Structure 1
Amino acid sequence: MPTGVALRDARERLFAAAERVLLRDGPNALTSRAVTAEAGCAKGVLHRHFADFDDFLAELVRDRITRLDVQAAALRESAGTGTVVGNLTAALGDVFGSLALGILGLVVARDALRARLRTTTPVGLPLLTEATAVIGSYLRSERDLGRITPEADVEALALALIGTGHLLFAGREGAPPDPEGVRRTVASVVAGAVREA
Structure 2
Amino acid sequence: MRRRLFTTQGQAASSKWTNIHALVRDQRLGILTLQETHLTPTLVDDIHNLFGHCLLIFNSSDPNNPTSSAGVAFILNREVMSTSHSKVHEIIPSQALLLTTTWHNSASLSVLNVYAPNDYHQQTSFWETLEEYWSDHALPKPDFMLGDFNLVEDPIDRSPPRLDLSAPSVALQDLQLSLNLVDAWRTDRPSERNYTFRTSSNSFSRID
User: Normalising to structure 1: TM-score of the pair?
Assistant: 0.30
The answer to which structure, 1 or 2, has the higher relative contact order (CA under 8 A, 6+ apart) is 1
More strand by share: 2
The higher radius of gyration belongs to: 1
TM-score, length of structure 2 as denominator length: 0.29
